[in-house]
Amino acid sequence: MIPILKKNRKKELILPKHIAIIMDGNGRWAKKKALPRTAGHTFGASNFKTIAKYCSKIGVKYLTVYAFSTENWKRPEEEVNSLMLLFKEYLKEALSDFQDENIRVKVLGDKSAFSEELQELILNVEEASKNKDGMVLNIAMNYGARSEIIRAVKLLVNEVQSGNISIDSITEEMFSKKMYTEDQPDPDLIIRTGGEYRLSNFLLWQSAYSEYVILNVLWPDFKTKDIDDAIEKYSNRNRRFGGI
């Protein structure tokens, strides 16, 4: 049974089990205010924590946010270093400020590219929150959907070569279990801020039947009411999954 989000609106809203967000627009937000791009990321990171707590509060079971892609390493060194610092600060806060939040944190992506300190922090946060039974917060860092799919293929090829499975036995369900999201349901709703109409290499496998809501609001200006509005749009969709 899909839970219902009760709001003071004309109709009750269907609450998606899994929401994914492409958090876009930090740089443009900073430029509009004549600030450095790093300032946009700082405000964006603060807003991310607000939105994550709100999604947990209203009963979302899984929230996946696109924080840093495999392509983002191409950005200026100063900007990349700023993003890594923000990520480190968030992880430290997650070990303290998020203690009372019933949120399980998982980092999706290739962690090997991060510093040893950052990798240790990721491990500590995931370990500290692993027994929490509330919302699962997936943070996609050094994540790229194409890389994720290639990784899944290699894992299955290894199993075939080891004789554990046959090629003919490979199914969609088996492939899904090799993705970073493993046993999690696919996103019901994907929200992209910043007004761009593209996936940007995000959850290509998992988003086959996701509903999309594109918003012109830049990520630092994204509010909890925008989550509600996106859920309302989602509630008005007729999800047929290829049927009638």
Which one from 8, 26, 47, 72 is the annotated catalytic residue?
Answer: 72
Q: What residues contact residue 72 under an 8 Å CB cut-off, 6+ apart?
A: 80, 83
Query: In 3-state terms, the chain is what percent helix, strand and coil (to 5)?
Result: 45, 15, 35
Q: Is 47 a catalytic residue?
A: no
- Measure the CA–CA gap between 55 and 3, rounded to whole angstroms: 13
- Read off the tokens for 153: 């293929």
**Alpha-carbon distances, residue 173 vs 11, 94, 152, 155 (angstroms):** 35, 32, 12, 14
Tell me the sheet residues that pair with 137: 63, 105
189 membership: H or E segment, kind and range: strand 189-192
- Catalytic annotation, pick one of 24, 47, 138, 188: 24
- The CA distance from 105 to 168, in Å, is 35
Distance CA 137, CA 105 (A): 5
Phi, psi of 95 (to 5 degrees): -75, -20
Structure tokens of 197?
Answer: 């109409």
- For residue 24, indicate whether it is catalytic: yes
Residues forming the active site: 24, 72
